[in-house]
Amino acid sequence: MGLACSCGDMRVVSAVSVADRPPAEAEPEAAAVADGLMDDDGVIRGADGPEADVSLGEFLLQHLREHAAAQRVAQVDASTGDVWSFQTLLSEAVQVASALAEDGLGPGDTIAFFSKNYHELYGGVLGCVLAGITVATMVPTHGPAELKHQLLLCMPKAIFVEAELLPRTQEALDGFPADVRVFTLQTVADDEVTSYAALSERGFDTDPDAYSPAEIPDRKSHVAFILYSSGTTGLPKGVQIPNHGLTTMIMNVSGLPTDLEGVGDVLTVLVLAPISWISGVVLLLKATQVGARRVSMANPVPKTVLSCLQTYKVNVWPTAPSVLLGLVHHPARRLFNFSSIKCILSGGGPLSAELQEEVSRKLGCLVVQGYGSTEMGILVTASPGQNKPGSLGVIEDKVSVRLVDLDTNEVIREPGRVGEMRARGPCNMIGYIGNPEATAECYDEEGWFKTGDLVYFDSDGFFFYVDRLKEMIKYKSHQVAPTEVEALLVTHPAVRDACVMGIPNLMDGEHPMAFVVRSKKVEAQELQDFVAQRLSEPKHLRGGIIFLDSIPRTVTGKTQRAALKKILAERREE
């Protein structure tokens, strides 16, 4: 889930080696099989689940009250050990909502959030949802210029910010064309800002059991969240997520498995995804629905994550394949007890069937995968009852997809044939804020969202990820999937991590090259030979290899390709 896009780039994905893909001709009854999976138009549909008949605020308030009455724990800050019960989270959200409404803020207004994961962040976000205020979440690693661009898109009335990021926020607001009130999640010595504690205290007299959330006249057009794309094809765009669609998706998405064997009444989930990612939003809302205990930390590093998994007896761990790869090879892994982990939800990057099975074997738990995007929400997921190694899973309830051959624009009906996934679902974005041209470009002539991802399905309706369309390497007339070469490289005993990209070549178009993190001494030529002996000629690393100490990744493990391109440019200039 993971939780990241330009036409779907902030995706929750997992990959399978193209070498593992069954060719279309491997299934002689392909057309007949496909007819049982899809309708006459080549559309594969998920089951028809429930439709939301309340606003997101009403939906969440109902579940907050339910779990507060059951005296459940809502969230744990692993950095401090501080715990909030559902009763505390309910009270905080209602108090914040009441104080904001008292200031005249409600439906039609936007409030921004610029912070890592803290208790107060979640109280503020849920408070805004109850008040009918649109929540715009900013990536906490962004600098003042990036922050200002995002604020100019959504024009918030206020911003919640962690104390450490206050100077960056103030720089971004310098010369801003509107007044923006600043709330700090922690108390600071600055008379021009208001602390979260002071805001919450103003709503202290509001009875959580008597409180009514703001009325949303048109839930389908009301924007619940604005999340920002990664900007890989330009400046980040603000994705407007509808209130009704998000509520319906949360009601239907399998998300957090609640029927895992060996788990008691309380499901504990480790949440490292920031609220600026669709995975962070989905995990907060889904955990609130099912009453799971969320464990989070503001600054996760490998050893503290390992310790957290053991200390808090985490049952479900949503994470990225790169994190799992690091865990398998981490020298301290054997020092920790991971017996509480029953399910790992992998997303945010490519995961081969081999690594999926290795992690499952070494940790003794189920590993499942999923796929989605900021613009569409969660589209495809695997679950304990529906899982295949290397597969993304099956279509979620209320979701429809079809695959299109980009060379012929033909709708694909045969299992094993690769095409671009196009989708419709309950959580279709309203559009990119202030950018109707970019919104229109993301849809085809029949109104299907173009994900930009190449996938295929098998005869059982399971989907497999091949690669990102714009990340495919064009060598002569061949298309090379970086994920396939990466999946092979990390099987070499001297390779800890790898990322494959294309570099321009006047004669051939692009040459595959690799960034590699070594676990022990190895020469570039040995790795180039390793690939050449196992993959076809177009996939050979004729672009060379660059050794790094680490692959730059986000806090949740997504590869920062822009940083790698900068490193590559600098090396080529030397």
HSE, side-chain direction, 13 A CA sphere, residue 2: 33
H or E element in which residue 359 lies: helix 353-363
Q: Taking a C-beta distance cutoff of 8 angstroms, is the pair 256, 290 a contact?
A: yes
| Residue 227 token pair | 């999340």
**Residue 253 one-letter amino acid:** V
In whole angstroms, give the CA distance from residue 169 to residue 166: 5
For residue 280, the number of C-alpha atoms closer than 13 Å in the C-beta half-sphere is 30
Integer Rg of the chain from CA: 23
Which residues, at least 6 apart from 515, have a Cβ–Cβ distance to it below 8 Å? 498, 499, 500, 501, 545, 546, 547, 548, 551, 564, 567
Classify residue 456 by its DSSP letter. Answer: E
Kindly give the confidence (pLDDT) of every residue in the chain, 574 residues in length, as a single tens digit, with 9 standing for 90 and above.
333 233 333 333 333 333 334 444 444 445 545 667 898 889 999 999 999 999 999 999 999 999 999 999 999 999 999 999 999 999 999 999 999 999 999 999 999 999 999 999 999 999 999 999 999 999 898 889 889 999 999 999 999 999 999 999 999 999 999 999 999 999 999 989 999 999 999 999 999 999 999 999 999 999 999 999 864 445 789 999 999 999 999 999 887 887 777 787 889 999 999 999 999 999 999 999 999 999 999 988 888 899 999 999 999 999 988 788 888 877 888 889 999 999 999 987 768 888 899 999 988 999 999 888 899 988 888 776 778 999 999 999 999 999 999 889 999 999 999 999 999 999 999 999 999 999 999 999 999 999 999 999 999 999 999 888 888 898 887 878 898 899 899 999 999 999 999 998 888 889 999 999 999 999 999 999 999 999 989 999 999 999 999 999 876 567 888 889 889 888 876 6
Q: Which of 558, 11, 557 is nearest to 302 (CA)?
A: 557
- Tell me the angle at which helices 524-532 and 482-489 cross, rounded to the nearest 10 degrees: 120
Burial class (CB in 10 A: 0-12, 13-18, 19+), 104: exposed
Alpha-carbon span 39 to 32, nearest angstrom = 12
**How many C-beta atoms surround the C-beta of residue 503 within 10 A?**
16
Task: Name the residue type at position 378.
Answer: I
Phi and psi torsions of 293, nearest 5°: -90, 115
390 φ, ψ to 5°? 85, -5
> Which residue segments constitute the domains of the chain, with CATH numbers given?
56-457 (3.40.50.12780), 472-573 (3.30.300.30)
* Cβ atoms 492, 522 nearer than 8 A: yes
Q: Is the dihedral of CA 178, 183, 188, 193 positive or negative?
A: positive
End-to-end CA distance of the chain: 39
Q: What is the DSSP string of 17-85?
A: -GGGSPPGGG-TTHHHHHHHHS-TTS-EE--------S-HHHHHHHHHHHHHHTT-EEEEETTT--EEE
Task: Specify the DSSP class assigned to residue 461.
Answer: S
Q: Are strands 366-373 and 377-381 parallel, antiparallel or unpaired?
A: antiparallel
Taking the C-alpha atoms of residue 128 and residue 57, their distance in angstroms, rounded to an integer, is 9
Helix (H, G, I), strand (E, B) or coil at 291: coil
Specify the residue for token string 């788990």.
263
